[in-house]
Structure 1
Amino acid sequence: MEGPPPASRQGRAWSDEETGRLVDGVREGLDLSELAGRHGRTTGAIGARLARLVPEAELVEDSPASGGGPASGVALVGSAELEWLRARLAADPDYPWRSVFDARRRPPRGLRRRRAAGDAPAATPGEPAPAGPTRGEPAAGPQWSARLDDVRAEWERTTGHPLRAERRAEFVARPVVADLAVVAAPLRQAAARRLWEGEARLLLDDWLLECLCPGASRLTTDWAPIAERDPDTVLLLRELAAAAAAEIPAGRSREIVCRRLGLHDGPAESLAAVGEVFGISRERVRQLQVKAVRGMASTAAPATRSMRTLLAGLSRVDDPPCPDGSPDGSPAGGGPDPLDGSRPAGAPVADPPAPARLLDLAEVLLPSVPVRQAALVIAQLAGARKLRAENLAAEAATVRALRHDAARRELSRQGRIERAARRWAALEAEVSWFGAPQPAPPRGELAALRDTAGEDGRSGSWHCPKLGREVAYESETEWRVVQLLSFAPQIAYYQEQPLAIGYDFDGRRRTYYPDLLVATTDGRCVLIEVKPVYEMATAVNVAKYRAVEALCRARGWGLVATDGWRTRRLLEDRPVDGRLEAALDEALARGGELTWHQVRAAAGALPLKSLDLAALVLRRGWVWRTHPYRLRGGAPASVPAPLSDPAPASDFIAVSAPAPDAPAPPSPPPSPGTEPIPLFPEVSPRPRVVPSPAEVEAARTAAGGWTRAQLAAWGVAWPAPKGWKQRLAQEWAAGR
């Protein structure tokens, strides 16, 4: 008979005896869950302890316990270390795990703080020696002195200004030179050449930043690129944020920050999702994130330091509040409008206060993080104290609500409708048509197939007077396009998330939901993909676009990908320097796959803009990923995949919905021989039921509301608009 389960020891310190029992369990062949049950701890704690028993050189690079990149998402933390240790103990029963553990033991907190300040003594014999002196620590040893002299010699060769003997000693004594000395020489030399050829100067801080994040040294505190969402500035800011997160010393904390802020190739993850990966509680995840962000706000690491300086100048968190006491949530404008010219070139850029700036920075830098959480992190990195940062984050959320309210108030302005008409006319000219245009499905057969509402702070709903209901959106960019469709008189009706389309990517079948289906007043149908321009060329978005294009070819619909101002055709028709194309083509042929550093190195002194690179990706059929940054060669885009055999009808899924309250405009009769292809022949519309008031009350759930399916059966849109019960009661009374 088994004994009682061990008492929980979560949060308690490990003893040497318990560590020995852990090694005995590994010898017995127990897995992580069994070891956690025996010791009364979580699997994450067991994995972290096992990592301390493995030499640092043997740690699996992608294991979260080792501080590497993200795990696959299914393997438990510490599983790789467990397998390594079990194999080593089986091959060598006398494996000195105690010596390995002692060598990896963390030094006392006081010693760590003194080392961070630069006045700590050399490492003790039981500790691993660093690759070079820490920031502020004096250089020692002939090899280290030679590396410092190499940095000085590279600076002299690049600038052509030899230093006198007394200036050389002053040069190598600077802390930034020690940071440059640990950078690989080829990378350091390429960065120096780019800065000198582009700016005719070589400042040490800019040199180091160019080594860590190519192009980031050109970022300034000018607000115009942020207000205009300049693609180059957005891309560099996100790369700098990723470089700053990579400087977090603790591997688990670094991985938590990357997952919570969406710095990997995916959206930001919740506390519960991250806690499940690491085997810890939601509260512990929050504590580690707060601690890591607090460390980033005070560390002397070069990329993080540059990030803090840049955010402080852009956000102006130290500025006094507005004289009227309001956060001033009016949108910051500026720059030309490429579609309708309503924003003339050279117009003055608004100078918004700190809350509005934090909101715009949150949308640019951390687009998948809720506004309040993203604004709080940015304010802390910009130097705001805890209470000030929390207040600014709350004001940023208020600015967002005020902007939405201001957009609603513009409904009564005829100028908004006129601008929307001009914008749609310009956007319609960019639509790609396939064959004879076919009409859109009837309005009563359309419904949103995916619920975009959530707690991410990005999605929401906006009341559309044209449709008489709330329209859901997933991002600020999509919200602006929804407003355009609501005000443009050429639009009869539209539907968000109307279809589910199957497509293949990364070796597996996926489902994509196009953003908007639009029916025009002249009887045509257009599918709209809403994406930032520079993201239209990424690998996953190219795969989605091809799947949507196949559907449009089969149905005779139009297709356009836009960010509300510019379209995909801007990339397809964009002229690119032939020298840049040849240089990148040669680098891809030689290396097969390029990182961000290698792309910059291949471009050399040639100007490299994100739109140029995106245009080349579409033109040459390259594969481009941004998180992590990878560029691979592929088949030329001039030879498209065969589209004569479209995807089967089962790949295009839709659910019929009852007709809304407002009657749909009649579709024009088709011309002879061009009858429209039925969109969803396998789905028949369900009869609409008008319940009595008593039946409505009887259908309440245990929580006091109504299910989405029940509302759909009654013909009520989701989310239910105000006054829907009264309208149902009136219809029921009129039909008696």
Structure 2
Amino acid sequence: MDTPSETAADAQHAVAPLTRLGDRWSTPEYEQLVEEIRSGLTIDEIAKAHGRPPGGITAACNRLLPPEWRESTRQHAPATLARFLEERPGEDLKIPPMNAQRPRPRARTSEPTLTPLPETARLDRDDEAVSLESGDAAVLAFEAVAWLEGKPREQQILRMRVGLDDAPHTLAEIGEQFSLSGERIRQIESRALTLLVRQARKSGTPGEALAALLRLPGPDGVDEAFADRIAALVASEFDAPARVAIPFLLCAAGVASPTARQVAVLARAAAERRRELETEERRTADLERRRAIAVCRADAAVSRWMGHASWPATMAAPPESGTLRALRLTGRGEAAGSFHSRKLDREVFYESSLELAALTVLENGAEIAWYQEQPLKIPYMWKGRQHVYYPDLLAATRAGRCLLIEVKPLMNMPVALNRAKAAAGRAYANERGWGWVTVDGTHTERDLETHIIPVGSLRAIAAELEVHGHLGWRQILELRSDVGVTPRDVAAFVIQTNAQLVLQPRYRIIPAR
């Protein structure tokens, strides 16, 4: 059965009547497909010739591939099949039998309609005084997951999919941990999202507060502008791909799953159009001028990172170029993307938009001689047990200095688990004569350490902690509305007072003991 993303792609790319949509593939048609792939035809050309959607062509290519050549997603199946035919020209492909194919539903004659969004939730007080700021969406969405009491498996699967505790995981990876198939994990994830929707439509829940802060429009307002806004939000606050993070965020705010997925499709379509426009602009623009501007900006960022880094008393040279390699990268189908580095003369992979921003700085910075993604494995202690994590980047300067870099959203830097990792990374780097810095592309952890918290906000936070012994998301929203405390004030308070910010089982700020 095709996935929702493939179905959406079919509807988007179809350029000819789908005269054979739902028909089973015959042996002659498979043989025709192999010849078309071998001759280099595009997917749209092949789809038009067969009277099928591009998603159907991709699925057929995936069925033709030997099991060991198949990837976790079908997205690259045509390209993989072309490579297989080129590398093994004499090897016969096994044509799937007719009864091995499941019939697909016939195309609908009318356009699908969006499920109406719920009315925008209201906070107990005038929520015009509370606006969405960096870190709010992720905090409330993750808190909504914590409210799914009695559903530990659903909670854990959602956390793993969006990367609450670690990097985002694929359905197959989660399935291995639960001894279930990837399809079964997808079904449980879908049910968990439905539970989030139902919960968000109840008064006094994190989802209600999230819906109010997101300013959800009516059903007629679900357009590319709204999709762009949500896509930009998840890119800044989630490491998971937009196709996973957007439905998760909107379901946590009470948006029905079909509409949430449609928003993700709209965002992807808008992003593809923007990429096409940007490609055309690059062809006609003055590339040297753009390059000079990029270098200037990157040099300023590198200089700031170096100035905010923690350096040891005695410096040591970086490792030799080419001696390190990436120790941990997610599968190609789940990674956010890659680009060809002119500086390194190889393909560089990134897992989030923040990593891409940091890599762009290193790629364009004139002071950076070379860099390496996820080059080290560092042990650290958490809750009495030893774990390991992989810092994001290592950069070597032309002056012979070495900088270890962790990339994290600014509002995630104070989280207790992230601080434990950063402490281990800083110690590891300084012992070797290297510097250490945590960045979000523009800001660093030093910005939180030096942020001046207004006296009124500082006193209000301290008073709430003294009364309650901790701060939860509801108390923080009250401080935002009543006193004007900002998310940066709260994050700086955690860093400067050495308080503890935890996300499990619920969002809590606990004062230093």
For the aligned pair, the TM-score class normalised by the smaller chain equals: 0.5 to 0.7
| 1:371 matched residue in structure 2 | 242
Q: How does 1:637-716 map to 2 (within 5 A)?
A: none
Q: What letter corresponds to residue 232 of structure 2 in structure 1?
A: D
Aligned counterpart in structure 1 of residue 234 of structure 2, from 355, 358, 362? 362
Task: Measure, in 2, the Cα distance between the counterparts of 1:623 and 1:364.
Answer: 23
Q: How does 1:163-174 map to 2 (within 5 A)?
A: none
Task: Measure, in 1, the Cα distance between the counterparts of 2:217 and 2:430.
Answer: 46
Q: How does 1:270-419 map to 2 (within 5 A)?
A: 270-271=170-171, 282-290=182-190, 293=193, 300-302=201-203, 304=207, 307=210, 313=216, 318=221, 353-364=225-236, 367-376=238-247, 385=259, 388-389=262-263, 391-392=265-266, 394-395=268-269, 398=272, 412=288, 413=290, 414-419=292-297
Matched, 1:541 2:418: yes
Would the aligned equivalents of 1:432 and 1:559 in 2 still touch at CA under 8 Å?
Answer: yes
Q: How does 1:560-599 map to 2 (within 5 A)?
A: 560-585=437-462, 587-588=464-465, 592-598=469-475
Aligned counterpart in structure 2 of residue 528 of structure 1, from 405, 410, 427? 405
Q: How does 1:187-202 map to 2 (within 5 A)?
A: none
Matched, 1:234 2:134: yes
Would the aligned equivalents of 2:376 and 2:390 in 1 still touch at CA under 8 Å?
Answer: yes
Aligned counterpart in structure 1 of residue 302 of structure 2, from 424, 431, 434? 424
**Cα deviations across residues 335-381 of structure 1 (Å, max 9, x unaligned)?**
xxxxxxxxxxxxxxxxxx4553343233246x243322334556786
| 2:427 matched residue in structure 1 | 550
| 1:341 matched residue in structure 2 | none
Distance 1:623 1:291, change over 3 A: closer
| 1:559 matched residue in structure 2 | 436
Matched, 1:447 2:318: no
Question: Shift of the alpha carbon at 1:553?
Answer: 2.6
Question: Shift of the alpha carbon at 1:433?
Answer: 2.3
| 1:621 matched residue in structure 2 | 498
Distance 1:441 1:377, change over 3 A: closer
**Cα deviations across residues 616-649 of structure 1 (Å, max 9, x unaligned)?**
22222111113421222225xxxxxxxxxxxxxx
Q: Runs of 5+ in structure 1 lacking a partner?
A: 1-175, 177-203, 221-231, 322-352, 636-736
Q: What letter corresponds to residue 535 of structure 1 in structure 2?
A: N
Larger relative contact order (CA 8 Å, sep ≥ 6): 2
Aligned counterpart in structure 2 of residue 516 of structure 1, from 372, 393, 399? 393
Q: SS in structure 2 opposite 1:233?
A: coil
Would the aligned equivalents of 2:471 and 2:508 in 1 still touch at CA under 8 Å?
Answer: yes
Choose 412-421 or 392-401, whichever is displaced more. 392-401
Q: SS in structure 2 opposite 1:424?
A: helix
Q: SS in structure 1 opposite 2:133?
A: helix
Q: What letter corresponds to residue 429 of structure 1 in structure 2?
A: G
Q: SS in structure 1 opposite 2:137?
A: helix
Distance 1:205 1:279, change over 3 A: same
Distance 1:444 1:608, change over 3 A: same
Q: How does 1:151-162 map to 2 (within 5 A)?
A: none
**Structure with max Cα Rg:** 1
Task: Measure, in 1, the Cα distance between the counterparts of 2:250 and 2:154.
Answer: 19
Q: What letter corresponds to residue 231 of structure 2 in structure 1?
A: L
**Cα deviations across residues 74-93 of structure 1 (Å, max 9, x unaligned)?**
xxxxxxxxxxxxxxxxxxxx
Question: Shift of the alpha carbon at 1:491?
Answer: 1.0
Q: SS in structure 2 opposite 1:429?
A: helix
Would the aligned equivalents of 1:500 and 1:513 in 2 still touch at CA under 8 Å?
Answer: yes
Aligned length: 384
Task: Measure, in 1, the Cα distance between the counterparts of 2:345 and 2:327.
Answer: 19
Would the aligned equivalents of 1:624 and 1:631 in 2 still touch at CA under 8 Å?
Answer: yes
Question: Shift of the alpha carbon at 1:609?
Answer: 1.8
Distance 1:356 1:521, change over 3 A: same
**Cα deviations across residues 40-86 of structure 1 (Å, max 9, x unaligned)?**
xxxxxxxxxxxxxxxxxxxxxxxxxxxxxxxxxxxxxxxxxxxxxxx
Would the aligned equivalents of 1:354 and 1:392 in 2 still touch at CA under 8 Å?
Answer: no
Q: How does 1:104-183 map to 2 (within 5 A)?
A: none
Q: What letter corresponds to residue 398 of structure 1 in structure 2?
A: E
Task: Measure, in 2, the Cα distance between the counterparts of 1:249 and 1:528.
Answer: 37
CA RMSD of aligned residues (A): 4.2
Question: Shift of the alpha carbon at 1:580?
Answer: 4.1
| 1:438 matched residue in structure 2 | 316
Distance 1:485 1:216, change over 3 A: farther
Q: What letter corresponds to residue 298 of structure 2 in structure 1?
A: A
Task: Measure, in 2, the Cα distance between the counterparts of 1:535 and 1:320.
Answer: 30
| 1:501 matched residue in structure 2 | 378
Would the aligned equivalents of 1:500 and 1:512 in 2 still touch at CA under 8 Å?
Answer: yes
Choose 539-548 or 285-294, whichever is displaced more. 285-294
| 1:705 matched residue in structure 2 | none
Distance 1:370 1:396, change over 3 A: farther
Q: Percent identity?
A: 30
Q: What letter corresponds to residue 138 of structure 2 in structure 1?
A: R
| 2:357 matched residue in structure 1 | 480
Q: SS in structure 2 opposite 1:443?
A: coil
Q: How does 1:603-614 map to 2 (within 5 A)?
A: 605-614=482-491
Distance 1:407 1:294, change over 3 A: farther
Give the number of the structure whose residues are more often helix, by fraction. 2
Task: Measure, in 2, the Cα distance between the counterparts of 1:309 and 1:603.
Answer: 14
Q: SS in structure 1 opposite 2:340?
A: strand
| 1:696 matched residue in structure 2 | none
**Cα deviations across residues 655-678 of structure 1 (Å, max 9, x unaligned)?**
xxxxxxxxxxxxxxxxxxxxxxxx
Task: Measure, in 2, the Cα distance between the counterparts of 1:553 and 1:498.
Answer: 16
| 2:348 matched residue in structure 1 | 471
Would the aligned equivalents of 1:529 and 1:560 in 2 still touch at CA under 8 Å?
Answer: yes
User: TM-score, normalising length from structure 1?
Assistant: 0.45
Distance 1:419 1:586, change over 3 A: closer
